[in-house]
Chain A
Amino acid sequence: MSSFGYHGIKRVATSEAARAERAARERSKIEAYRQLCQQTVDLRRDGVLDADSLAVTTALLNQNPEFYTVWNFRREILQRLFADMDVDAVQASCEKEIKLTESLLRVAPKSYWVWNHRRWTLETMPRPSWERELKLIGAMLEMDARNFHVWDYRRYVAKSMGNGDPKAEFDFTTHKINQNFSNFSAWHYRSQMLPKAFADASSQQDVVLQDFELVRNAIYTEPADQSAWLYQRWLLGQEPSLLRSCSVYVVASHPATDDALSSSASAAVVVTFPHGAKLRRGGQIVVTVDGRMVAATPATTMFGRLHAFLLDGAVARGSQIVVEMAAGLFGGNKLDVASVGITTRGTVGDSVTRLEVACDAPANASAASELPLGGVQGDDIWAVELASLKELVEIEPDSKCKYEIA
């Protein structure tokens, strides 16, 4: 919460003498500031709602845009003055408020009170220019691409424009994401605009596929960044038919060579689920390669339908791999596999290998039958996602700690 307390202000050691010197320097400023405050309070108490009072509030707010009571007084004065003005005069007066708030936002871009006054002005003026607001937002986000006041304001402006143009808003998020992938504010807004901008199912499907590509680019660029991973979780949730069962894959990146058995590479185990699965904290996944136990570290977010574990050390092509997921590794709203342990096995291939899945003889047979096991046929998106993970394994063999929590 940046409106309270100091944020990012370096401590400076001050001696008693330096403190006294500063106090002496500030004394006249304090005197002038307090006088201005008292003058404002007196004018308000006496109900003096005129142009001179307005000028006093301008002076005070320029010194302290956080003094919310003075903004309130200012609006009371303006409402009184507007009552005697024609439409053009009101418009001209509001233009001055637009200028004042704009100059204050440049120095106090996170001041709730300044943003509020700007909204009030736009809602009060006879001919508000929402296009100008979009320009202001663009400029403010160049200064700080994550300022949530500005993103909230953008949603407000779009709504004020009759919900604006969702396609334009979607394109705006593309623009911000291309500037910097590490902008979750933009990804968040994108998740809201995508279904609105592409309402029919087939164009939406196309865009979702394109966005998987965008997410991959983001993840290659900055694998340790959470923003794109979070959006990927959302994308995966957009397509309910993507996955119909639990599957386990081994993704390995082997150099292209004929010397099959000697070439080894870093690898990941990928587990996919049909519903929103959650990885339980402290849950155990045991991976054995040619009889040797290998540590597996979670590489993706802890919720969602795709979980990747990066394996410690190289895995040779042709290795026999066994992946055992203990009962209780995953849980979720619609999926309770807590009572089911899963063992999968196979031979590591060139890139992506799907392992044969079998249930540990479950104590509770009905729980097992609720969990569809086995293959996914013709799932293009998963193939693409797995290929992207394969490339990630190649590019960033050390990216395993991105979701390190403890």
Chain B
Amino acid sequence: MALDTLKHVQYIKSLDKKTDTLEYWMTAHLRLNGIYWGTTALALLGHGDALDREQVVEQVLACRHSNGGYGGNPDHDPHMLSTLSAIQVLATYDALDRADTEATAKYVASLQQPDGSFAGDQWGEIDTRFLYCGVSCLSILGRLDLIDVDAAVRYLSACQNFDGGFGSVLGAESHAALVFCCVGALAILDQLHLVDADRLGWWLAERQLKNGGLNGRPEKLEDVCYSWWVLSSLSMIGRLHWINKDKLQEFILSAQDEDGGIADRPGDMPDVFHTLFGVCGLSLLGYPGLQPVDPRYCMPRAVTDRLFSHHPRE
């Protein structure tokens, strides 16, 4: 089975035209994340010009608040999850100069807590997802100096469990998506030596099931999005070869929808989230024709190379 690149490009381009579905309106709070998932997938598929650049940038900027944070949609409150998406999209389209990024950096830094963790917004939910958002965002903006990096690293280290994995907060069970967040943040901060790479590597490798797919925790079902969370983590700790690549590639390809898009598993409804993470997984597996993806940032390697030639990564 082969990757049906053109169909996926068509699928992503069609997403903005589904305004006659209730679904489209019910997911309005995820619109900015959706733009990130869609444009990143397009870039990795080699079709970064499939959407109108100016229109994408304007859509992102419309979600901006005066405090520098971004909401999921115009009129939606600023939040870490949408702020990172905004910065990623602007970086990918080389449009960071279109907004006051200094205000954004200050907004993000203001959400760090004294123990090093990050809140998602002013309401104070703590999660390692937000720590990742903060570190990734500030690294892209070259302003990691605004936060207490040592405290963040201490918090991340404390989240490592006996099985080698990481959870959402101190004491939480290991979960592959949060392994990505914690290992990704440590990788960006150049602190990967704090990870017990062999132990974590085995835990990650054991996510692979007989059908080739990966799950996110012991005794759970396989899901295409873990192709990203697990693979990127294995890649960052240098153990990508610990899973069976051929079987995983076959699994991801079998989750493609005949009308374009990739689903969580074969036979299910596709969506742009799983389309991106399926494509990212294939890129890490070295699937021919795909642009390389940066496992730390989940952005095209060409973009992060360009970013960090402007200012050294801290």
Contact = CB atoms under 8 A, between A and B. Distances in A.
Contact of A8 (B22, B27, B225, B264): B264
Contacts of B271: 5-6
A129 interface: no
A5 B219 contact: no
Contact of B225 (A5, A72, A406): A5
Given A66-B29, A116-B125, A405-B244, A184 B218 contact: yes
B173 A184 contact: yes
B14 interface: no
B169 to A, nearest CB: 6
B30 A303 contact: no
B160 interface: no
A338 to B, nearest CB: 12
Interface residues of B, number: 64
Interface stretch (A133-141, A148-156, A289-297, A357-365): A148-156
Contacts of B20: 23, 26-27, 30
A9 B265 CA distance: 9
A152 B76 contact: no
A405 B172 CA distance: 26
B294 interface: no
B22 A182 contact: no
B273 A5 contact: yes
Interface stretch (B146-154, B200-208, B301-309): B200-208
A30 B22 contact: yes
Given A1-B225, A10-B267, A148-B175, A405 B208 contact: yes
Nearest to B122: A72
B178 to A, nearest CB: 9
Contacts of B269: 6, 9-12
Contacts of A67: 28-29
Contact of B242 (A63, A75, A405): A405
Contacts of A27: 20
B164 to A, nearest CB: 8
Contacts of A332: 198
Contacts of A130: none
B190 interface: no
A68 B77 CA distance: 8
Nearest to B129: A1
A233 B163 contact: yes
B29 A233 contact: no
A230 B218 contact: yes
B244 to A, nearest CB: 5
B218 A278 contact: no
Interface string B74-116: 0111010000000000000000000000000000000000000
A4 B82 CA distance: 13
Given A1-B225, A7-B223, A146-B220, A303 B199 contact: yes
Contacts of A406: 243-244
* Best-surrounded residue of A72, A75, A191, A233 (most CB of chain B within 10 A): A72
A68 B28 CA distance: 11
A69 interface: yes
B25 A6 contact: no
B25 A34 contact: yes
Contact of A5 (B163, B167, B206, B272): B272
B110 to A, nearest CB: 17
Contact of A226 (B161, B169, B219): B219
Interface in B256-274: 257, 263-265, 267-274
A148 B173 contact: yes
Interface residues of A, number: 64
B1 interface: no
Interface in A328-347: 331-333
Contacts of A26: 20-22
A188 B173 contact: yes
A226 B198 contact: no
Contact of B198 (A11, A68, A120, A278): A278
B242 A8 contact: no
A242 interface: no
Interface in B217-251: 217-221, 223, 225, 229, 242-244
A48 to B, nearest CB: 15
A333 B197 CA distance: 10
Contacts of B196: 333
Contacts of B210: 404
Interface string B16-59: 00001110011111100100000000000000000000000000
B168 interface: yes
A302 to B, nearest CB: 4
A152 B171 CA distance: 8
A182 B123 contact: no
A311 B210 CA distance: 21
B300 interface: no
Contacts of B29: 66-69
10 contacts: A23-B20, A26-B20, A66-B26, A120-B123, A148-B172, A152-B167, A155-B171, A184-B217, A227-B219, A281-B242
Given A4-B273, A6-B268, 7 more contacts: A6-B264, A37-B25, A182-B219, A184-B217, A301-B206, A303-B198, A404-B210
Interface of B: 20-22, 25-30, 33, 71-72, 75-77, 79, 121, 123, 125, 127, 161-164, 167-169, 171-175, 177, 196, 198-199, 202, 205-206, 208, 210, 217-221, 223, 225, 229, 242-244, 257, 263-265, 267-274
